[in-house]
Amino acid sequence: MKYLTAASRLLRHSSRNLSDHRSNLQFFCSIRPSSSGLSYTSLRSYEHLIQDDCFHRKITLKNICFRGSGVGILHCLPKFQSDGIRTHHRNLASTALIPERNKSFATINSDDISYFKKVLGGRGVVQDEEKLDDANTDWMRKYKGSSKLMLQPRKTQEVSQILDYCNSRCLAVVPQGGNTGLVGGSIPVYDEVIINIGSMNNVLSFDKVSGILVCEAGCILENLMSFLDNEGYIMPLDLGAKGSCQIGGNVSTNAGGLRLLRYGSLHGSVLGLEVVLANGTVLDMLGTLRKDNTGYDLKHLFIGSEGSLGIVTKVSILTPPMLSSVNLAFLACEDYLSCQKILVEAKTKLGEILSAFEFLDINAMDLVLKHLDGLRDPLPSSKHNFYVLIETTGSMESHDKEKLEAFLVQAIESGLLTDGVVAQDINQASSFWRIREGVPEALLKEGATYKYDLSLPPEKMYNLVEEMRQRLGTAANVVAYGHLGDGNLHLNISTQQYDDNILAKIEPFVYEWTSKQRGSISAEHGIGLMKASKLHYSNSAETVQVMAAIKKVLDPNGILNPYKVLPTPALSQT
Ligand code: FAD
Ligand code: MLT
Ligand code: ZN
């Protein structure tokens, strides 16, 4: 009886909250004869669905809850300052840490421009001020370079010719993809030449049996998702920036995102790469084999190297099949301990169908509801300290529903969950994902953000957030969200504008705290410019020296993405 009461509480919330949304017939049909004897359905929504045959067919054939609004979040964001988004151009949160311009780098002259025009034609050589302003500015509007030239090659051979030339002239370059990076890695620090490979955007092959996709590195992630959708496959990674970020950028940052919990990191999914080195040498490592133990597996050096070792021009990636049954629950917990316990329960009880486990705290939720149009609190009856999104993906609707239902009922019963709702159609699932994926955009609209992306033991993670709140008092809003299932905390400190006094309270405290836990100061965003001088907090001096030595071998003149990833002193000692 107690069991039934708990379950009906969740489901009542569910139908009340969703009563004005279109519902998924297949969902209702599959769970109505549940073992608990409960019915999730209401006649009104069922009848409504039967009339809407077109929509019904769409979901039953492809019962996939696309994340986000169907387009990447960046499609909703103006590139330039408008819509209440403030601009804070600061190269680094602390200007004192910007390395001097390397005097050995040349500056571009008219002969250089003529050469590039000869290789690329006029269209691939961009000097237009507005376009350059865009390319010189990062997504957070925090870093701004002063490049006077952007090159847009269309072929690997062109990339090779450009790099060969730049290397011989000692012209520094910044590889740029979708420019959605969050650590100042994709924009020039000074006048580096921007090489954007967005024009290299063709799918080269797809093997329907193995699921192996080979494409050019400038393909936008969301376009690859759409391509695979037609083939019955999905990309093994998904992130809020999918509408703009490129697969080459994803590989170069070793992007994590929402599916890492299920499909692992790109070090596992990427099977091969084509990379152009600083001197123009093309490394063909574009294998399509799952097993290949022939010497050093060099492609791994380039995964996550943030454009500092070479330009990725082609990618071969293993993609998982699209499964027919996807469910998404938006849940509330009163305290962080309950979030952890729910994670353990989800891993054991949902097992093989668990495909995402994300969290946001009340501060993050409040910001999203304040800034993002058209979003409503899915659990409006009261405020909750923590929100958790649990997604399941499997191949048998009835089995998956039964598992999820049993899990949720038990979680309510044991008091771990205080409220919750299960998405009942694709629109609702999208709006739940939009809440989670919309936090960075909401932060951007709120003002300045000090953004930290940490790997920490989950049981310690939220202690840092609380300590930070104590340190900063009312001076800032400390916002936490992230990929809890992967031990990845996004700690964001939001203020009206950047202020060195606030920064001094945050850093080095945040890095020292992380280091003490043997955590990582970059779980997924990378090091870029922001953390090049902080690398030692997560890596020993010897490790950093080996990294610098590798950089020296592959890029002796240091033209590739200078001032990023590695601390300048480590490079000069090598
Ligand atoms: P860019 O930003 O253009 O570049 C990033 C770095 O890669 C730079 O150092 C650049 O020099 C280098 N680079 C780019 N292309 C190449 C290339 N072809 N060859 C060599 N180097 C190259 N990241 C996550 O990991 N997980 C998330 O969940 C996530 N969510 C995000 C949500 C939002 C709203 C935003 C704005 C960003 C998010 N990010 C996330 C960060 C960012 O989207 C990722 O790092 C992404 O992989 C960057 O891809 P990009 O094409 O935009 O690369
Ligand atoms: C996310 O998970 O939302 C992204 O990594 C972006 C961010 O941390 O702001
Ligand atoms: Zn993230």
Evaluate: CB of 68 within 6 angstroms of ligand 2. Answer: no
105: domain CATH number is 3.30.43.10
Report which protein residue has its CA nearest ligand 1's atom 36. Answer: 180
Q: How far does the centroid of ligand 3 lie from the alpha carbon of residue 312, in Å?
A: 22
Mean pLDDT of 179-191: 98
Angle subtended at Cα 122 by Cα 118 and Cα 128, rounded to the nearest 5 degrees: 130
Among residues 196, 221, 237, the one where a domain terminates is: 196
Choose between 155 and 96: higher pLDDT.
155
Quick one: which atom of ligand 2 is closest to the CA of 525?
Answer: 5
The answer as to whether 46 is a domain residue is no
Q: What does each C-alpha distance from 83 to 79, 144, 242, 572 come to in angstroms?
A: 10, 20, 21, 44
**pLDDT at residue 143, as a whole number:** 95
Q: Is 131 within the bounds of a domain? A: yes
Average pLDDT over residues 254-282: 98
Q: Single out the residue in 278, 297, 318 at which a domain terminates.
A: 318
Assess if residue 151 is contained within a domain: yes
User: In this predicted structure, what is the pLDDT of residue 40?
Assistant: 23
Is residue 380 in a domain? yes
Q: Which of 239, 357, 449, 494 to mutate to test the pocket of ligand 2 (most atoms within 8 A of CB)?
A: 239
CATH number of domain containing 328: 3.30.70.2190
Q: What span, in angstroms and rounded, lies between the C-alpha atoms of 303 and 254? A: 6
43 in a structural domain: no
Over range 132-148, report the average pLDDT.
97
Q: In this structure, are 433 and 330 located in the same domain? A: yes
Same domain, 260 and 139: no
Q: What is the 3-state secondary structure (H, E, C) of 260-283?
A: HHHHCCHHHHEEEEEEECCCCCEE
Residue percentage of the chain with pLDDT more than 70: 83
Whether omega before 508 lies within 30 degrees of 0, making that bond cis, reads: yes
Q: Ligand 3 centroid to 482 CA: how many Å?
A: 6
Tally of domains in the chain: 4
Question: 343 CB less than 6 Å from ligand 1?
Answer: no
Same domain, 314 and 331: no
Instruction: Encode pLDDT of 420-451 as tens digits.
Output: 999 999 999 999 999 999 999 999 999 999 99
DSSP letter, residue 200: -
210 and 305 inside one domain: yes
The CATH number of whichever domain residue 261 belongs to comes to 3.30.465.10
The 10 Å Cβ neighbour count of residue 321 is: 13
Nearest residue (by CA) to ligand 1, atom 10, is 186
Of 196, 229, 257, the one marking the end of a domain is 196
Structure confidence at residue 573 (pLDDT): 84
pLDDT average, residue stretch 447-461 = 97
> What's the whole-number mean pLDDT along residues 391-399?
97
What pLDDT band is residue 548 in, cutting at 50, 70 and 90? very high
Q: Please, which pLDDT band fits residue 87 given cuts at 50, 70 and 90?
A: low
Q: Is 243 a pocket residue for ligand 1 (Cβ < 6 Å)?
A: no
3-class secondary structure, 495? strand
Containing domain of residue 139, as a range?
59-76+91-196
pLDDT of 33 reads 22
Q: Are residues 370 and 303 in the same domain?
A: no
The rounded Å distance from CA 183 to ligand 3 centre is: 13
* Ligand 2 pocket test, candidate residues 139, 182, 253, most atoms within 8 A of CB: 182
Closest C-alpha to ligand 1, atom 27: 257
The larger pLDDT score, comparing residue 4 to residue 445, is at 445
Same domain, 119 and 217: no
Domain check: are 65 and 175 in the same one? yes
Same-domain check for residues 418 and 538: no
Supply the residue whose CA is at minimum distance from atom 6 of ligand 2. 440
In a domain, 335, yes or no: yes
- Which listed ligand is nearest to 237 at the C-alpha? 1
pLDDT tens per residue, range 557-570: 999 999 999 999 99
Report how far ligand 3's centroid is from the alpha carbon of 257 (Å).
5
Report if residue 100 sits inside a domain.
yes
Per-residue model confidence as pLDDT tens digits over 354-392:
999 999 999 999 999 999 999 999 999 999 999 999 999
Within 13 Å of residue 227, how many CA atoms lie on the same side as its CB? 21
328 and 344 together in one domain: yes
Whether pTM > 0.75 for this model: the answer is yes
For residues 123 and 315, give the distance between their C-alpha atoms in angstroms, rounded to a whole number.
25
- Which numbered atom of ligand 1 lies nearest the CA of 251? 47
Q: Does the Cβ of 440 fall within 6 Å of ligand 2?
A: yes
Whether residue 85 lies inside any domain: the answer is no
Q: Residues 97-113: pLDDT tens digits?
A: 689 999 999 999 999 99
The pLDDT assigned to 98 comes to 84
Distance of CA 139 from the midpoint of ligand 2 (Å): 12
12-30 residue pLDDT tens: 333 322 222 222 222 222 2
Average per-residue pLDDT for the chain: 87
List the residue whose alpha carbon is closest to atom 49 of ligand 1: 249
* pLDDT score, position 325: 97
**Of 261, 490, 492, 520, best ligand 2 pocket probe by most atoms within 8 Å of the beta carbon:** 490
Instruction: Report the separation in Å between the CA atom of 180 and the middle of ligand 1, taken as the mean of its atom positions.
Output: 5
Q: Are residues 175 and 71 in the same domain?
A: yes
Percent with pLDDT over 90 in the chain = 82
* Cβ 490 under 6 angstroms from ligand 2: yes
Between the CA of 479 and the centroid of ligand 3 the distance, in Å, is 13
The reply to whether 233 and 291 lie within a common domain is yes
Residues 250, 172 share a domain: no
pLDDT tens-place string over residues 502-533: 999 999 999 999 999 999 999 999 999 999 99
User: Rounded distance, CA 356 to CA 304, Å?
Assistant: 22
Residue owning the nearest CA to atom 41 of ligand 1: 181
Q: What is the mean pLDDT of residues 209-228?
A: 98
Distances (CA, A) of 220 to 178, 224, 244, 514, 535: 8, 7, 6, 33, 29
Closest ligand (CA of 526): 1
Q: Whose CA is nearest to atom 2 of ligand 2?
A: 482
Side-chain-side CA neighbours of 181 within 13 Å: the count stands at 35
Residue 388 Cβ inside 6 Å of ligand 1? The answer reads no
